[in-house]
Structure 1
């Protein structure tokens, strides 16, 4: 896989290059700012972009803005956002599902427990999947707690939705909340109905993200 990497911290950047290359990937460019990320992405047309959010010159959201632009201009390029922060701006643009769009990922650096987990997520995003750290979903849901249809959910339904966002099965959710699986199925049905989501979907994390995109 051909990858363009953007990370302003030199040690972390070189470390990521080493990890990716040892896994058999080709890092065609490793840069430290968003302008270089955009330039090298346009030049090399990689399979995947891995980018931080906060980079020079302002260290605010340059990487996320660049990722959203890449998503719009090069929808066939998969994107993995790797950051220490949860940012809400530009996330809807990143997650927007369009014809031909490649995979998208959003991981928090300090929650990646092992290199193999990171590499597995990279592979999944490159294969077209959506991979988002559950903590990112939790925080975004919390920020939109009273916004639109989400405000109609009960506290229990919000709990179930957060666990759904982790990819939990109904049985796992029932164990976590100490309720019956039948009760969980009822809550899931209510969530689908209130958020106008397809109850036939078998990608429940994507269903949650579809709501966040809206």
Structure 2
């Protein structure tokens, strides 16, 4: 899976693009944290076997939060969030949910490392992999969707019981977490990830400059 720093970088780019008038240091920090939150299930794996890329990478987490947010801001006569934080808080909340789902979960789902996106209903790890290219000989080639069956190209890569995803928090299978285990803290694993991180860093001052330094 991409390192957490890359998830945060994508979350920052989403914040820059979606926060609009709510953009400031505080709102951007909230969105960045939301993008990083799913990776905290690596810590949960110390007490829950197989929690990495499962417990907080479940699609049900953002779905439940989004449902509650919609009910509070759109269906209730008086929204708790809007009355407490105004339009500013509502905008940040929706962008944070998007960052959680897209940067926190989606980036790991569209990766061979995979996530248990239907946890706890299913403990299978899924990965969406494929390609989309234009060939002068074969035309358009895409392997994400089989049009005859309308099936998304999803691979199952073991289960939370049969497969351990190593992290620096819990590098070994199970919850034992031996002190002599080799721990590797990953910041970036490839050049494209470094480009994303640099792009996010550059986007922040550029956004502030575009806003005329109001924040």
TM-score (norm 1): 0.26
Q: Which has the higher contact order (CA 8 A, sep 6+)?
A: 2
TM-score (norm 2): 0.26
